[in-house]
Structure 1
Amino acid sequence: MISFNYETDFELENEAQYEDWISRIIESEGFDEGEINYIFCDDEYLHKINVEYLDHDTLTDIISFDYTVGNLIQGDIFVSVERVQDNANDFKVSFEEELKRVLSHGVLHYCGYKDKSPEDEALMRSKEEEKMQMFHVEH
């Protein structure tokens, strides 16, 4: 089950479409969907989590806590809407496109993809692109 929670005034326009898309990402990677919570927040909220739980004193667009057991994908994914907007501006893409990249990024981590080395990061980027293309695909 995928749920969307809001700690800021942002709200997804079509939750059902995003929910279906994320489910299909998980399925396309050969995993089963457990409980996944997306929590949309602002920079301040996410910065506090970053400092408190990860000991990182930096702003970030996403923090994910992975509770995956075996093939069952589960976790909490915190997304800073402010950071997504700033990154969209920096990368000269729409807010929606950058949001899809971040939402897919979080769940791809749960599927085992990393992004610490240049090779891993390149694979993660190509997987994000692949999954973003699935958003509008009817099944």
Structure 2
Amino acid sequence: MISFNYETEFQLQNEPALSQWISNAIINEGFNEGEINYIFCDDAYLLDLNIQFLEHDTLTDIISFDYSLGKQVNGDVYISVERVRENADDYEVSFENEMSRVLIHGILHYCGYKDKTEADGALMREKENYYISQLD
């Protein structure tokens, strides 16, 4: 089950379609959907989590806590709407495109994809682009 929760004024449009899109990606990657919670927040909220749980005193667009069990994907995905908005401007893409990228990025981590090395990052970006193309 995928749920969308809001700690900010922002509200996703088209939650049912996005939920189905995320579910399809999970299945396509050979996993089963468990309980996935998206929490949309602001920079300050996410910075507090970053300091408290990861000991990083930096702004970020996403923090995901992976509770997956075997092939069942479970987790909490925190997204800073402010950071996504700024990144969209920086990368000169639409806010919707950047939000889609962040939504699927967390799921891809749960499916075993990494992004710390250049090669892993390239594969992650390729997968993100593939799934974003499925939204059109």
Normalising by structure 1, report the TM-score. Answer: 0.97
CA distance in 2: counterparts of 1:47 and 1:128, whole angstroms: 24
Letter matched to residue 109 of structure 2: H
Shift of 1:111: 0.2
Find the counterpart in structure 1 of residue 19 from structure 2.
19
Letter matched to residue 57 of structure 2: D
CA distance in 2: counterparts of 1:74 and 1:35, whole angstroms: 5
* Long gaps (5+) in structure 2: none
CA distance in 1: counterparts of 2:124 and 2:13, whole angstroms: 26
1:1-139 equivalent positions in 2, closer than 5 A: 1-136=1-136
Q: Deviations over 1:9-67 (max 9, x none)?
A: 00001110110000001011010000000000000000000000000000000000000
- Secondary structure of the equivalent of 1:63? strand
* Long gaps (5+) in structure 1: none
Runs of 4+ in 1 over 6 A off after TM superposition: none
Shift of 1:69: 0.4
CA distance in 1: counterparts of 2:52 and 2:135, whole angstroms: 34
CA distance in 1: counterparts of 2:134 and 2:30, whole angstroms: 15
- Secondary structure of the equivalent of 1:4? strand
Shift of 1:135: 1.6
Letter matched to residue 115 of structure 2: D
Q: Deviations over 1:67-119 (max 9, x none)?
A: 00000000000000000000000000000000000000000000000000000
Shift of 1:133: 1.1
CA distance in 2: counterparts of 1:18 and 1:37, whole angstroms: 13
Letter matched to residue 97 of structure 2: E
Aligned Cα root-mean-square deviation (Å): 0.5
- Secondary structure of the equivalent of 2:98? helix
CA distance in 2: counterparts of 1:29 and 1:131, whole angstroms: 11
Normalising by structure 2, report the TM-score. Answer: 0.99
Shift of 1:134: 1.3
